[in-house]
Amino acid sequence: MSKVEDFLTKAEEIEVVEAIRMAEKNTSGEIRIHLEKRTDIAPIERAMAVFHELKMDETQLRNGVIIYVAVKSKQFAIYGDKGINDKVNKDFWNITKDIMVGHFKNGANKLAIVEGINSTGEQLKKHFPFDDNDIDELSNEISKG
């Protein structure tokens, strides 16, 4: 998996977007995927930078989550906004990361991303339940750098 375009097939991308849509039916939180070729800095640092570039820090409840993947560097990170980190303990993301690592090791990129979305959604809904007035604040489409 060295190219961003080869990371997921078109059909898999549709499944990923659908997984985000379904996860966001249970929570007011917003999940986004960002793929790029490589990172020269720690993936969590890069994830934070992309998070701000995508204006993911502008949600009303500060409850956006980015799942960042540098495909050629074979590194990824999950970063959640202040609203989430104020409420959860530090193991919050490790559970999700561990699930994803297992699938990446098997070369199952789509499964890694979808399971990452599902796990993030499960955790988000505990702290940010869906509200009938909820709006989709951030696009569910995959962002590519």
Instruction: Name which of 102 and 129 has its Cβ closer to Ca ion.
Output: 129
Instruction: Name which of 17 and 99 has its Cβ closer to Ca ion.
Output: 17
Residues 6+ apart with CB under 8 A from 142: 8, 13, 16, 17, 33, 34, 35
Q: Which of residues 9-38 bind Ca ion (CB under 5 A)?
A: 28, 30
In 3-state terms, what secondary structure has residue 58?
helix
Neighbour tally for 94: CB within 10 Å: 11
Our finding on whether 136 is near Ca ion (CB under 5 A) is yes
**# residues near Ca ion by CB under 5 A:** 6
Instruction: Name which of 13 and 30 has its Cβ closer to Ca ion.
Output: 30
Our finding on whether 134 is near Ca ion (CB under 5 A) is yes
CB of 81 to Ca ion, least distance (A): 13
Q: State whether the Cα torsion 8-13-17-22 is positive or negative.
A: negative
Neighbour tally for 22: CB within 10 Å: 14
- List residues near Ca ion by CB under 5 A: 28, 30, 134, 136, 138, 140
